[in-house]
Amino acid sequence: MSSMESSYLPATTESIAKAQEAKDASESISILYRVLQDPSSSAEALRTKELAITNLTNYLTKENQAEELRNLLTQLRPFFSLIPKAKTAKIVRGIIDAVAKIPGTSELQISLCKEMVEWTRAEKRTFLRQRVEARLAALLLENQEYTEALTLLTGLIKEVRRLDDKLLLVDIDLLESKLHFSLRNLPKAKASLTAARTAANAIYVPPAQQGTIDLQSGILHAEEKDYKTAYSYFFEAFEAFSALEDPKAIFSLKYMLLCKIMVNQADDVAGIISSKAGLKYLGPDVDAMKAVADAYSKRSLKYFETALRDYKSQLEEDPIVHRHLSSLYDTLLEQNLCRLIEPYSRVEIAHIAEMIELPVDHVEKKLSQMILDKKFAGTLDQGAGCLIIFEDPKTEAIFPATLETISNVGKVVDSLYMRSAKIMA
């Protein structure tokens, strides 16, 4: 190991203090590695080594030495046989969490988790293995490796249900719900979320986890266009994350604002942003939703497209926001086009495109789609570049009533025939 020295330092509080007083991080790291080399296995030495591991993990994280953290985890394996399994689990998960704090390490985290799963399986450490596997499934989901994540979770859920580990079960069911949602399987996503809620009702769930359940509930309700219920779930999640100062709070706030826009209450967005809770999270994400709300209030497609272009990473690269804004954009475009073509019976497509400030081909494509969807009666004369609008054919009220009467008479005749057949028999 590059950071190891040939001579060890005694595992005492003085050695730890010496590491903390070192003039730079690399010297502190070097001292702590030497402390870990102490062959002593007394209770005091083991406690000091645990402290040294915690400090060393912090230093390596600050220095962004992800590979060194991975090597540390491998080097500590003999030490793990000397300490209780619960402490081993805490150290392993602490180091994996530390690697996660270093940007651009998702591939390293996946390979590290796979290594630890193999080691825990060989050492028969079931409790730790299940938690590392759950972490691995979450990483695979983030990396969009859905098939592998689903295979891993399917086996893990059966095993954890058998052991009735409720807290881990909540985590895994939530992961499965997110995975099915990513695969666009809404019924299974809802079923997994219900299972997570059922398990959560039987135990004390930490606020962060309860917030995650509420966030996922909001996402699924929004997907079903039930934006009012979704808003209430996002609000609950926002309050939980905000109290914990969790970075997920900004996403909850963003989705709350999205729900307000989707239920035609875009004017409420400014009020939520300027509230005491909202002011804490001012930034690009909130600005993006404010720009969309302004565009929607003004019914302006130009402002809407400007917002999508200016805040691309906050709007288009967030799959949940992007999905709902796409339908919102379509609705807004249809409303604008219907309003513009209303006075005409025949109008040039170029003229409509000029009024709505969009490319001609884009407008033409949308108009043809609206005609096929029966949003209005008309046809496109592409030779002349015109849209011809027909008057809505008025349906006579008597015809549906006549059809209904004939249908009812038919039912009566069938009923009489059945009765006469029984009498004849």
pLDDT tens readout for residues 226-249: 999 999 999 999 999 999 888 889
User: What pLDDT score does 425 carry?
Assistant: 67
CA 149 to each of CA 146, 191, 226: distance values in angstroms, whole numbers, following the listed order: 5, 18, 29
Query: Is pLDDT of 13 > 60?
Result: yes
Work out the mean pLDDT of the chain and round it to a whole number: 87
**Long-range contacts of range 112-120, CB-CB < 8 Å, 24 or more positions apart?**
112/70, 112/73, 113/139, 115/70, 115/73, 115/74, 116/73, 116/92, 119/77
Whether 33 maps to a domain, the answer reads: yes
Question: pTM of the predicted model, to two decimals?
Answer: 0.76
User: What pLDDT score does 2 carry?
Assistant: 40
* Position with higher pLDDT, 1 vs 77: 77
Mind listing the pLDDT tens digit for each residue in 113-169? 999 999 999 999 999 999 999 999 999 998 989 999 999 999 999 999 888 888 899
Whether 406 maps to a domain, the answer reads: yes
Query: For residue 203, which amino acid is it?
Result: I
Whether 411 maps to a domain, the answer reads: yes
User: What pLDDT score does 394 carry?
Assistant: 66
Whether 94 maps to a domain, the answer reads: yes
What is the count of structural domains for the chain? 2
Whether 218 maps to a domain, the answer reads: no
Question: Which residues is 381 bridged to in the sheet?
Answer: 386
User: What pLDDT score does 4 carry?
Assistant: 41
User: What pLDDT score does 357 carry?
Assistant: 78
Query: Is pLDDT of 272 > 50?
Result: yes
What percentage of the chain has pLDDT greater than the value 90?
33
User: What pLDDT score does 115 carry?
Assistant: 92
Q: How confident is the model at residue 3 (pLDDT cuts 50, 70, 90)?
A: very low
Question: Domain boundary residue among 91, 118, 145?
Answer: 118
Whether 62 maps to a domain, the answer reads: yes
Mind listing the pLDDT tens digit for each residue in 351-381? 888 888 788 888 888 888 888 888 888 888 8
* Residue 165 phi, psi dihedral angles, 5° rounding: -90, 90
User: What pLDDT score does 393 carry?
Assistant: 64
Question: Domain boundary residue among 118, 151, 171?
Answer: 118
User: What pLDDT score does 1 carry?
Assistant: 40
User: What pLDDT score does 5 carry?
Assistant: 39
CA 393 to each of CA 240, 340, 377, 388: distance values in angstroms, whole numbers, following the listed order: 55, 20, 9, 15
Which of 262, 267, 179, 268 lies closest to 223, judged by CA?
262
* Position with higher pLDDT, 401 vs 223: 223
Span 17-39, average pLDDT: 86
Chain centroid, CA 104 distance in Å? 19
Question: Domain boundary residue among 76, 93, 118?
Answer: 118
Other CB atoms closer than 10 Å to residue 20's CB: what's the count? Answer: 11
Mind listing the pLDDT tens digit for each residue in 159-212? 998 888 888 999 999 999 999 999 989 999 999 999 999 999 989 999 999 999
What range does the domain containing 66 cover? 7-101+112-118
Whether 91 maps to a domain, the answer reads: yes
User: What pLDDT score does 175 carry?
Assistant: 94
Question: Strand runs (DSSP E) across 123-168, as ranges?
Answer: none
Whether 65 maps to a domain, the answer reads: yes
Query: Is pLDDT of 395 > 70?
Result: no
